[in-house]
Amino acid sequence: MTVIDVRRLRKSYGDVRAVRDVSFAVERGEIFGILGRNGAGKTTTVECVAGLARRDGGAISVLGRDPQDGDPALRERVGVQLQSGALPDKLRVGEAIDLFASFYRAPADRVELLDLLGLADVRDRPFDALSGGQRQRLSIALALVGRPEVAILDELTTGLDPAARRATWELIGEIRARGVTIVLVTHFMEEAERLCDRVALIDGGRVVAVDTPAGLTARAAREQRIRFRPDRPVDPALLRALAPVSSVEALGGGELVLGGGDGLLFALVTTLAEMGVEPLELRLEQASLEDAFLALTADGPPASAAAEAGAPSRAEAVA
Ligand SMILES: Nc1ncnc2c1ncn2[C@@H]1O[C@H](COP(=O)(O)OP(=O)(O)OP(=O)(O)O)[C@@H](O)[C@H]1O
């Protein structure tokens, strides 16, 4: 079931065309990522979805309603955590939760929410005495206090250290397990790869692709590459003669890098075994979501490469 449907969204701020053409649909129970570089139009898009900004064109449906209508029933069903979610310095964690809970008719159990977010121990601490990770978790708690069906989370792990980031990712998984549909704005590839079922890649105010992280990565799939160091010298010409091998590069320290297509690894290890050569420090390199990101967005290869990946049919790609 489609929970959020965005069609040909447009939004400008004066002369700045923040969102030119954005379309995507989010299904119930998904973690849906909105990925793009700084200024791509991600926040503007989710502000329109959350009903916090008025669009110039296009259509948006959230749980079957237009967020722009200001329907209070819809506001209760959508939790929003936006980037600039600063609170008054002296407001305590528990007070902030109570205050936000008072906006809803049937708020979440506050003790359970504080436990879930790992904030029970700091409930009496004022906002200005919280660590970055605690502030971030508090802002997620405030987005969830109304027991929303949809949570919109913007840049939720920006500024967190790796451990806090990982803990936050686990938390998002738990929130989804409770049946909440999550829209996650991010510019971290790893975050999108780990958490999101599908991702809309936005660039210059347009959607350039909507796919699973694996599907996006496959679009950028270059040939496989294998690096290794043979335990004794190998004639590169012998490797070059193998069917899947398209290139052999000799690096310093005796290291070799082979490029090629399907069956590359099998052909290499069987041939080396026949020669009685052991490959040391063998590594298989594959395309990553970051390769896909660079290939599909502005600073990547020229338009022709993106065209092969289906980018020019931008809006159609998600229709
Ligand atoms: N209130 C505003 N007034 C004027 N311009 C704005 C406003 N909000 C956003 N913009 C501009 O619109 C464009 C898109 O901004 P937006 O914040 O949506 O991008 P973003 O992808 O979320 O970027 P970031 O990752 O840096 O947050 C940018 O050029 C930005 O400067």
Q: What is the pLDDT of residues 147-156, one digit of tens each?
A: 899 999 988 8
| Highest mean pLDDT: which range of 122-131, 289-298, 299-308 | 122-131
Q: Is the CB of 13 under 6 A from ligand 1?
A: yes
pLDDT in tens, 82-105: 665 678 899 999 999 999 999 888
Q: Is the CB of 9 under 6 A from ligand 1?
A: no
Residues 187 and 167 reside in one and the same domain: yes
Residues 76 and 180 reside in one and the same domain: yes
Looking at the domain assignment, is residue 155 inside a domain?
yes
User: Which residue's C-alpha comes closest to atom 17 of ligand 1?
Assistant: 43
pLDDT in tens, 51-88: 999 999 999 999 999 999 988 889 889 998 866 567 88
The percentage of residues in the chain with a pLDDT greater than 70, rounded to a whole number, is 91
The span from the CA of 131 to the CA of 255, in Å, is 45
Looking at the domain assignment, is residue 292 inside a domain?
no
Q: How many domains does the chain have?
A: 2
Ligand 1 probe mutation, 13, 55, 84, 155, most atoms within 8 A of CB: 13
User: Which residue's C-alpha comes closest to atom 30 of ligand 1?
Assistant: 39
Q: Is the CB of 16 under 6 A from ligand 1?
A: yes
Looking at the domain assignment, is residue 135 inside a domain?
yes
Ligand 1 probe mutation, 11, 16, 183, most atoms within 8 A of CB: 16
Residues 35 and 152 reside in one and the same domain: yes
Final residue in a domain of this structure, among 218, 253, 273: 218
**How many angstroms does the Cα of residue 258 sit away from the middle of ligand 1?**
43
Residues 126 and 253 reside in one and the same domain: no
- Do the beta carbons of residue 169 and residue 2 sit within 8 Å? no
Residues 178 and 39 reside in one and the same domain: yes
Q: 257-262 long-range contacts, Cβ below 8 Å, gap at least 24? A: 257/225, 257/226, 257/227, 258/225, 258/226, 258/227, 259/223, 259/224, 259/225, 260/223, 260/224, 260/226, 261/223, 261/224, 262/224
Q: Is the ipTM of this complex over 0.85?
A: yes
pLDDT at residue 298, rounded to an integer: 66
Looking at the domain assignment, is residue 23 inside a domain?
yes
Which residues constitute the domain of residue 199? 2-218
Q: How confident is the model at residue 306 (pLDDT cuts 50, 70, 90)?
A: very low
Looking at the domain assignment, is residue 306 inside a domain?
no
CATH number at residue 55: 3.40.50.300
Residues 169 and 261 reside in one and the same domain: no
The span from the CA of 49 to the CA of 59, in Å, is 10
Q: Where are the beta strands (DSSP E) in the chain?
A: 2-13, 16-27, 31-35, 57-62, 78-81, 150-154, 181-186, 198-203, 206-211, 224-230, 245-250, 256-260, 279-285
User: Which residue's C-alpha comes closest to atom 16 of ligand 1?
Assistant: 41
Stretch 26-49: mean pLDDT, rounded?
94
Q: Is the CB of 297 under 6 A from ligand 1?
A: no
Residues 264 and 139 reside in one and the same domain: no
**How many angstroms does the Cα of residue 58 sit away from the middle of ligand 1?**
18
Q: Is the CB of 136 under 6 A from ligand 1?
A: no
Residues 16 and 126 reside in one and the same domain: yes
Q: Is the CB of 18 under 6 A from ligand 1?
A: yes
Res 198 pLDDT > 90: yes
pLDDT in tens, 121-144: 999 999 999 988 888 889 888 988
Q: Is the CB of 67 under 6 A from ligand 1?
A: no
Closest ligand 1 atom to 41 CA: 18
pLDDT at residue 310, rounded to an integer: 37
Residues 251 and 159 reside in one and the same domain: no
Residues 213 and 244 reside in one and the same domain: no
Residues 209 and 233 reside in one and the same domain: no
**How many angstroms does the Cα of residue 13 sit away from the middle of ligand 1?**
9
pLDDT at residue 292, rounded to an integer: 80
The span from the CA of 251 to the CA of 230, in Å, is 12
The span from the CA of 63 to the CA of 150, in Å, is 9
| Highest mean pLDDT: which range of 3-17, 93-107, 151-165, 232-246 | 3-17
Q: Is the CB of 166 under 6 A from ligand 1?
A: no
Final residue in a domain of this structure, among 183, 218, 253: 218
Task: Look up the pTM and report it.
Answer: 0.78
Q: Is the CB of 187 under 6 A from ligand 1?
A: yes
Res 317 pLDDT > 70: no
- Do the beta carbons of residue 153 and residue 140 sit within 8 Å? yes
